[in-house]
A and B are shown apart, each in its own frame.
Chain A
Amino acid sequence: MTETSSFKRGLPEGIAAIVGLCIGAGLWYAHSMCTASTAPASARVAASPAINGRAQISAAPVADPIHAPLYAAAHAGRRIVVAGEHGVIVLSDDAGQTFRQARTVPTQALLTSLSFVDDKQGWAAGHDGVVIHTADGGETWVLQHEELDGDKPLFSVFFRDAQHGFAVGLFGTAIQTADGGKNWAPLAVETGEENDHHLYAIFGDATAALYVAGETGLIYRSSDGGASWNTIKTSNPGSFWAGLQLSDGSLLAAGQRGHLFGSHDQGASWTEIPSGTEQSLTGIVQAADGAILVTGLAGTTLSSTDGGKTFSAQTRNDRVPLNGALSQAAAAPVLFGDKGIVGRPKERE
């Protein structure tokens, strides 16, 4: 029939082509809208500054900071401050009900220890010889000390007042300051040939004496503000990881494999207290009402209501490793560990 005539109608064909293209473009647009809306909310990844810009490195906001591994806690007045891995520091102003992350923390090192002298002034220490300081109760921090050459972790920091502080760590590392941390000087806790024991905890009080708990059952004591130290060998075959001077002046030290020791003579002599556990013990706290709580690995807690004479051991069902506790009252501790904050005070009724 009219097979050829149809080809003469150039105009409609042109229109068809254009309309066809329009349909195509329309489909494309509609489709791209579909796919665009399925794109995820952009993931929260903090852009980290360059490796060499050391001073700029700071802990990034974390989606769920209270579940980061946490290693240390302290009171800054009524506020609770907890510190842990990657420079995570969380604060609570409601006795541990809710936490928020500190605004600026100038390090990504694992923080191991906290010490506050009042509701504003505080210090945190950690790996890479890091010591950071806050003057606003933990909201913002500045870097005071850092050592990136080799493994120089600090395990414990203790400030007697806003000027005088100490920190101890791996292989006998110890430092001190007399100007609130502006300048740090080496401190020789251990002298003699064997002077490289790990030092895990420094504790004591402002007036009487300072104590350092260390490897292989060693305790060090200084009664002159850290100028000189003497070494006390306890019968503990393993390491002490934590120590505390109780409200009555007596001392407790706890560590590897459930060993718990007490001293009533300013550390001159130590006797073992049955702990009822073989789990390593990581922290000791005393509440205002005098009750004592010791935390340990595998969900272990020890409690004493007789001033540390006897302890009873419990094991949490979830067996999470506990790195420490903080408590105002024995019944309501904040518990934290490798899985973050795992125990909180019950709401006041």
Chain B
Amino acid sequence: MLSTLVRRLEDFLFGHRGTVLAIFAALTVVMGWEASKLRISAGFDKLLPSGHEYIKTFDDYRGQLHDANGIALVVHPRHGDVWNAATLKTLLDVTQAVTFLPGINRGSVTSLWTPNIFVTEITEDGFKSDLLISGTVTPDALTPEVIGQIRDRVVEGGYIGKLVAKDGSGALIAAEVMDPDPRSGEPLDYIAFGHSLETEIRAKFENADVEIQIIGFAKEVSDIADGAQGVLLFCGIALLLTILAVYWYCRSWTLTFQKIICSMTTLIWQFGTVHLLGLGLDPLAILVPFLIFAIGVSHGVQQINFMVREVAGGADMYTAARRSFSGLLIPGVLALATTLVSFITMVLVPIPMIRELAVVASIGIAYKVVSNLIMLPLAASYSSVSKEWGQRSLQRRESRGDLMTHIARIAKPRNAWAMTVFTLVIFVVAVFLSQGRVIGSLLPGSPELRADARYNVDSRAIAEKFDVGLDWLTAVIEAPDESCGNVELLKLVDEFSWEMQNVPGVISAESVASLTKLYNSGLNEGQPKMATIPRDSHTLGYNIAQAHEAAAITGKGCKWMAVNLYLTDHKATTIQGVVEAVKQFRASHAMEGVRFRLASGNAGVEAATNEVLASEELPMLLYVFAAILLLVFLAYRDWRAMLACCLPLAVATYIGYAFMKLLDIGLTVATLPVMVLSVGVGVDYAFYIYNRLQLHMARGENIVDSFEHALKETGVATVFTALTLSVGVATWSFSALKFQADMGKLLAFMFMVNMIMAITALPAFAVVLERLFPRRGPVRMPGLAHD
């Protein structure tokens, strides 16, 4: 039934091969046009797990809390401190340059020189407020005396650690970024904005005397996008390596380029479709096209392999291509379907970025069926190769196959048992080693960039010298309207801040309570002993009204109050500890009408992401394995095949986890897909080998001989594919982006492990299972397989 269908399809396609190829070519032109319009785009929201409790809080209070889309620039003299005329003048110049930068909210720019920075003094008669640098001070009038006065006023105004480094080694300029542009309504082009910071500020003001440090979300996004451009180079290198490797394998430029072109065609279709869907190419998803390309190569090698065998056997290229088509259609579709299913399962992760990645990847895989299983044999049928070439190729394969003869010994029962035990031991060891795997990221600054990237170096420097929290978690306390005079409520907020301050990993807590205390002290002569929440509700209401001026800490009528917890770092364990502490507090301090909500701030978002990743990872893998088991069952109708194909994959996956643990590669939005994808790719190897095995066994060979033949026939191709792909992806380790380097390392490793498992553990398991549960009936011929 199935075989008839395949044969009809074969007849139809090869009968109209010119037309079919022409249609493909036309499609490629159209898609190429669309693909040329595809741009790299980065979005923050895509990384948020939608629907998560914390993200709802984040969304509800977006733009109201201390999550302002701001940038901070520090003018840092390379020698000495900022208290000299030259540095202060540079600070003024940079302040002005930043103010006039497109995309900056001008009114929000603050530095020592901006007219929105006041020094409030508490005198015997009350408050006295003056500009920090009086309007009469000009940059030319910066005498040591004037500078001394400015310096004293910075201290009085409490701007040490805010506008001037704690050790005086730098001065800070803070500004808000406007996204979207309030006039045009256009979203901000972060990449262009980031570049303008480089060209307009850093290039102009950074010199031998002064360093300009820049941090902020906009800069981070732009730096990541720049780093992502580099990936094109790595893709190029990988492409070149692949071409050379394929040529080395088949020794025919015609076949090599047919294969590469077929693989590239998928990419063009895929990019075109992505653009038609209105999506951009995210730096995080840049791995997908390469992966699709890689999968294409892996299947293409199997096609070449098949054709070589046919040509060497005396068939002409046309017949060889036809046989290759019908011979590989079933295992090919099966393998691609498995990959497709494993990609689609990622749609279950409620993080739009991963969903997008899943969609983009699935599209690619779907096209792969057309380009690799149909287009390649069709194209190949036009090429003419000699029988000698085929025989030489086969000989080469035979000689390369020597290695396989050694490996095939694994199928001997005694060795199979040993290998099985060995693999199981490895499994246990891997499970053990993978304990305590990192979730999220460990390094300070932007986890996407490398630790030594300029952005992260600047982040660390600024975090060390200024009271700037790079990592913070905001808890929002919601209360009934008009709660500002509610003493018990404010005491509760104070209590909460105090307890959170004592949770490991929390540096400080900032809340309406801490501000109220500050104002209470201020309204009482600045007496430090008055830094408490007043018990008188009128006094309290008045203080909060003052505190309210300091935005982003409480809503009108105290309907909501934010508690910003500044953290030492954004390690998953740190954040989780804080989240647990908040949950514990809210459980034990219930108050009528009051609701504690987690959590905004970068750490709140990260907490949500970590929770989602940690909870989704296993179910997702289970779905993938379930899908594989189902597909294997459908294909072979044999439970032994299900086990033999899946056990090596499971072992490989845990070896991958151990690898992540040992290399401190965290489970992130970037690495979760890698683990899933690698299962999908790994199963390909298993399918091709198992398919040949079934074929030989169906012919009556015993399992040991069958394996030796199967390994000789496809083992080399499998090893070759894995090596080529690994080398290609391994080049990513040099990427400027940390997550890409991590993905590259992990993916290269997984390609190799899956390959090794497929040629060692898979035969061993299959043989052991065969011994334990001998077959009663004849072995089924797998779907359709030509000799």
Contact = CB atoms under 8 A, between A and B. Distances in A.
Given A1-B781, A45-B581, A46-B499, A110 B436 contact: no
A238 B525 contact: yes
A150 to B, nearest CB: 6
A44 B501 CA distance: 10
A23 B167 CA distance: 58
B652 to A, nearest CB: 13
Interface in A43-99: 43-48, 51, 60, 62-64, 69, 71, 85-86
A12 B773 contact: yes
Interface string B756-783: 0000000000000000010011101100
Nearest to B610: A38
A149 to B, nearest CB: 8
Contact of A128 (B166, B535, B633, B650): B535
B500 to A, nearest CB: 8
Instruction: Pick from B434, B436, B499, B536 the residue with the most CB of A within 10 Å.
Output: B499
Interface of A: 1-3, 5-7, 9, 12-13, 15-16, 19-20, 23-24, 27-28, 30-35, 37-48, 51, 60, 62-64, 69, 71, 85-86, 108-110, 112, 127-128, 148-153, 155, 198, 200, 237-239, 241, 256-257, 280, 282, 297-298, 317-319, 321, 323, 337-338
A150 B572 CA distance: 43
Contact of B657 (A34, A149, A257): A34
Given A12-B773, A19-B643, A86 B528 contact: no
Interface of B: 1, 122-124, 155-156, 160, 166-167, 431, 434-439, 488, 495, 498-499, 502-504, 524-532, 534-536, 539, 572-574, 576-578, 580-581, 584-585, 588-589, 614, 617-618, 621-622, 625-626, 629, 633, 637-640, 642-643, 646-647, 650, 654, 657, 773, 776-778, 780-781
Given A2-B778, A23-B646, A23-B650, A148 B155 contact: no
A151 B535 CA distance: 5
A44 B488 contact: no
Contacts of A51: 488
Contact of B531 (A60, A69, A148, A200): A69
A239 B525 contact: yes
Nearest to B621: A27
Nearest to A6: B637
Contact of B436 (A19, A34, A112, A280): A34
A337 B528 contact: yes
Contacts of A237: 124
A99 to B, nearest CB: 15
B504 A37 contact: no
B629 A45 contact: no
Contacts of A64: 502
Given A6-B780, A63-B502, A128-B535, A319 B155 contact: yes
B123 A257 contact: yes
Given A9-B777, A38-B437, A238-B124, A256 B536 contact: no
Given A40-B576, A45-B581, A319-B155, A23 B434 contact: no
B516 to A, nearest CB: 13
A258 B437 CA distance: 57
Contact of A43 (B431, B504, B589, B625): B504
Contacts, number: 174
19 contacts: A6-B638, A6-B777, A16-B643, A19-B643, A24-B625, A27-B618, A27-B622, A34-B434, A38-B614, A43-B581, A43-B584, A44-B503, A44-B504, A48-B588, A63-B503, A85-B531, A108-B495, A153-B532, A155-B529
Contacts of A337: 528
A325 to B, nearest CB: 14
Contacts of A7: 637
Contact of B577 (A1, A41, A153): A41
Contacts of A62: 502
Contacts of A28: 618, 622
B577 A43 contact: yes
Contacts of B572: 38
A136 to B, nearest CB: 25
Nearest to A279: B156
A200 B773 CA distance: 91
B701 to A, nearest CB: 17
A238 B525 CA distance: 9
B696 to A, nearest CB: 16
Given A150-B536, A151-B539, A43 B578 contact: yes
Contacts of A31: 617-618
Nearest to B641: A16
A319 B160 contact: yes
B471 to A, nearest CB: 15
Contacts of A3: 1
Contacts of B504: 41, 43-44, 63
Given A12-B639, A43-B503, A323-B528, 6 more contacts: A6-B780, A16-B642, A30-B431, A39-B576, A60-B499, A112-B529
A246 B685 CA distance: 89
Nearest to A4: B637
A297 B526 contact: yes
B526 A280 contact: yes
Contacts of A47: 584, 588
A155 B539 CA distance: 19
Contacts of A239: 525, 527
A241 B524 CA distance: 12
Nearest to A67: B501
A69 B574 CA distance: 24
B525 A45 contact: no
Nearest to B591: A51
Closest 4 CB pairs of A and B: A16-B639, A43-B581, A6-B637, A40-B577
Nearest to A23: B650
A152 B535 CA distance: 8
B100 to A, nearest CB: 33
B535 A150 contact: yes
Given A1-B781, A23-B646, A257-B124, A45 B585 contact: yes
A344 B362 CA distance: 65
Contacts of A338: 528, 531
Contact of A321 (B524, B528, B535, B626): B528
